[in-house]
Amino acid sequence: MREDRLGPYSPAGEEKIATGFKRREFLKRSALAGGGMVLGQRLLTDGGASTLDAMVAPQTVSEKVAVRLRVNGSNYGLSLDPRVSLLDLLREQLDLPGTKKGCNHGQCGACTVLVNGRRINSCLALAVIHDGSEITTVEGLARGDELHPLQAAFIRHEGFQCGYCTSGQICSAVAMLREVEQGTASHVTSDVRRQGRVELTDEEIRERMSGNICRCGAYPGIVAAVREASGKNERGA
Amino acid sequence: MKPFAYTRVTNNQAAVQAVLREQTAKFIAGGTNLIDLMKENIEHPNQLVDINRLDLARIEEHNGGLRLGALGRNSDTANNRLVRERYPLVSQAILAGASPQLRNAATNGGNLMQRTRCYYFYDVAMPCNKRQPGSGCGALEGFNRIHAIFGASRQCIATHPSDFCVALAALDAVVQVEGPQGARSIPFADFHRLPGDTPEIDTNLKRDELIVAIDLPAASSVFAAHSYYLKVRDRASYAFALVSVGAALDVQDGTIRQARVALGGVAHKPWRAKEAELILTGARADEQTFRRAAGAAMQDAHGYEHNSFKIELGKRAIVRALTVAAVKGEQDESKNE
């Protein structure tokens, strides 16, 4: 699966990545594969009113798409069902379970990863859309045995209790400190018209980390860890 | 999630043609709403046309105003230097919405196309005329705390969830679209619809039309010094608005020359409070004026069992947003002196 080069993207005006075949065909195939049971259940839950013909109305089936990704410095050439989220790809196919599945609906931030250096929710990202991207997960932050300053700060300040949201918190914080360096404003920034670097108060940290929910309520430790790591960055450490 | 075919396009017309060919095909950009709806089996396109590689992400000067590319990410738009300087209401509104992660993925065009967060729309076991026309409205006599107080119908009392769109409505933005017959412009006020008897249709954009840009007119930069986006929600961040107010004033020597007030969380579309704007125009920028304007804005509001609180909340939110907008500029001016 892993390979060492990223191929160029084909620049055609429209590249048909996947052409579906009809649902009728899919049902035939899945019936052969023992999918008859599922179909039977569907008919029952539909109250038996639907005829088989109505149910096998034309519908496409996902065909696999070639995707190349660079994850934590390693290149991957993959063939993916377009339905696969970046989160599921990382956890289930690339053996990187550090990224967590919390709500799976973009409401908790446990699945936060960096795509080309920017934090996003990997649960709401189709892997195929990120073809050619560079992904960093929590597994890619440390340098050998040396923890990333934010990882070390989270341990020092107990920025967690159960730990499930932690990898998302840390990835989010890594990107957040970069955003601050770039002079971005936040909802609590008093005047967005004034450009330049915003002072990272605790209020700013809380707002900028608000996309990561911690059900244990370890927020004081999280804020302390981020505050400390931001100071380190300032001193260039 | 139901299976779908995946197609990538690299020019606007290829995108339009791809959607034209397949009856249930949909454009996908950031995907932060569409993928979620597909997981919930509320949306089930048979084909996704990935438009992320189109050249539509730029923010450029245009006719003295700004042209926001449809594929600009919400975070980049909010933090664009020119947007922050000339249209701070847009930056404030975007930054009040969602989370940094979601704003990094969500696009400007996609923000306009996001669907309601009505619980009944999201729950496929419940009736919803928007999701399944003719099935009824679960919210009308159900748990309707987050629902509309303006412009609703017996068929649907859902609200539009966007913050960005409230600012765009206030500033008279124009949506640029491309379809099979070419390009056209849609004034922002005409972009989203009220539910009426067809709540399943959110906007006046045709299925095969692609949003390519959103224009902020030059005339609206006059509000830069006195604008404020106030969002009232159940928690301090990362929640949809119960009521939000986009307030923009053009004040000189304490007198309001022009005013814009738009509300979020109260209707099926971003709601322009024209009655309030009429009262504000030419009046003194003081609390008494703001109270009269707020009263006028809420005159035709209609509450349901659980959301009548939005009427009083809306009045107070308008007064506060206008007060901050008026004072904010004065503070800035004194700092500059």
Mean pLDDT score, B251-255: 96
Q: Render pLDDT for B278-331 as a digit per residue (tens, 0 to 9).
A: 999 999 999 999 999 999 999 999 999 999 999 999 999 999 999 999 998 666
**Helix A149-156 with A219-234: angle, nearest 10 deg:** 140
Q: What is the CATH number of the domain that holds B274?
A: 3.30.390.50
Q: Which residues of chain B are within 8 Å of residue A187 when distances are taken between CB atoms?
A: 92, 95-96, 237
Pair B230, B209 in one domain: no
Question: A–B: how many Cβ contacts below 8 A?
Answer: 157
Which residue of A65, A83, A167, A181 is the best one to mutate when testing the B interface, meaning the one whose CB has the most B CBs within 10 A?
A83
Residues in CB range of B321: below 8 A, 6 or more apart: B228, B229, B230, B245, B246, B247, B261
Nearest CA in chain A to B336: A194
Interface of B with A in 135-174 (CB under 8 A): none
pLDDT, residue B332, reads 58
Chain B residues in contact with A172 by the CB 8 A cut-off are: 100-101
B122 domain-assigned: no
Overall domain count for chain B:
3
Whether B328 and B296 share a structural domain: yes
Same structural domain, B195 and B296: no
Give the whole-angstrom CA distance, residue A113 versus residue A96.
12
B100 vs A15, A104, A208: nearest CB: A208
Percent of chain B at pLDDT > 90 equals: 97
To the nearest 10°, report the CA torsion of B30, B87, A173, A2: 30
Sign of CA pseudo-dihedral B13, B17, B23, B24: negative
Please list every residue in chain A whose beta carbon sits closer than 8 Å to the beta carbon of residue B8. 14-15, 17
ipTM: 0.96
State the DSSP code for B3. -
User: Which residues, numbered 140 to 199 in chain A, qualify as contacts with chain B under a Cβ-Cβ cut-off of 8 Å?
Assistant: 172, 175-176, 179, 182-187, 189, 191-193, 195
CA-derived radius of gyration, chain A: 22
Minimal Cα distance from A61: which residue of B?
B3
In terms of domains, do B238 and B281 share one? yes
| pLDDT at A82 exceeding the cut of 60 | yes
Domain ranges of chain A: 23-55, 65-140, 149-234
Is pLDDT of A96 > 50?
Answer: yes
**Same domain, residue pair B106 and B181:** yes
- Written out in words, the top-level CATH class of the domain with range A149-234 is mainly alpha
> Which of B1, B2, B7, B8 would best serve as a mutation to test chain A binding (most A beta carbons within 10 A)?
B8
The reported pTM is: 0.89
In B, which residues are within 8 Å of A104 by CB distance?
39
**pLDDT at position B337, please?**
42
Measured between beta carbons, the chain B residues lying within 8 angstroms of A29 are: none
Residue B185 in contact with residue B174, Cβ under 8 Å? yes
Q: Is B62 helix (H, G, I), strand (E, B) or coil?
A: strand
Residue B36, domain extent: 5-52
Taking contacts as CB-CB distances below 8 angstroms, the residues of chain B near A200 are none
**A82, B48: Cβ pair inside 8 Å?**
yes
Q: What is the CATH number of the domain that holds B48?
A: 3.30.43.10
Q: Say if residue B163 is in the same domain as residue B47.
A: no
Q: Answer yes or no: are the C-beta atoms of B144 and B231 closer than 8 Å.
A: no
What's the rounded Cα separation, in Å, for the pair B188 and B196? 19
Return the pLDDT at A62. Answer: 77
* End-to-end CA gap in chain B: 59
C-beta atoms of B36 and A26 within 8 A: no
Query: A229, A176 in Cβ contact below 8 A?
Result: no
How would residue A16 be classed by pLDDT, with cut points 50, 70 and 90?
Answer: very low
CA B236 to chain centroid: 20
Could you report the per-residue pLDDT of B35-70, keeping only the tens digit for each? 999 999 999 999 999 999 999 999 999 999 999 999
| pLDDT at B329 (0 to 100) | 65
The answer to whether residues A172 and A111 touch, using CB atoms and an 8 Å cutoff, is: no
Q: Does B35 touch chain A (CB under 8 A)?
A: yes
**Could you name the CATH architecture of A65-140?**
Roll (3.10)
Three-class secondary structure of residue B212 per DSSP: strand
Q: Is B84 on the interface with A (CB under 8 A)?
A: yes
**Does residue B139 belong to any structural domain of this protein?**
no
Give the C-alpha distances (Å, rounded to integers) separating B89 from A6, B164, B195: 42, 9, 27
CA dihedral of B182, B185, B188, B194, whole degrees rounded to 10: -50
The more confident residue out of A47 and A82 is: A82
The B residues from 274 to 333 touching A (CB cutoff 8 Å) are: 328, 332
Tokens of A126: 């189709």
| Three-class secondary structure of residue A156 per DSSP | helix
Residue A60's pLDDT band (boundaries 50, 70, 90)?
low
Pair (B177, B278) in one structural domain: no
Q: Please indicate, yes or no, if residue B189 is contained in any of the structural domains.
A: yes
Model confidence over B179-225: pLDDT tens digits? 999 999 999 999 999 999 999 999 999 999 999 999 999 999 999 99
**Which B-chain residues 59-78 have CB contacts (< 8 A) with chain A?**
75, 78
CB atoms within 10 A of CB B303: 15
> Is residue B188 domain-shared with residue B313, that is, in the same domain?
no
Q: Is B10 close to A65, i.e. CB distance below 8 A?
A: no
Whether A165 and A102 have beta carbons less than 8 Å apart is answered as yes
> φ and ψ at A196, to 5 degrees?
105, 175
Residues in A 97-126 with any Cβ partner in B closer than 8 A: 104-106, 109, 112, 118-121, 124-126
| pLDDT at residue B25 tops 70 | yes
State whether residue A43 sits within 8 Å of chain B by CB.
no
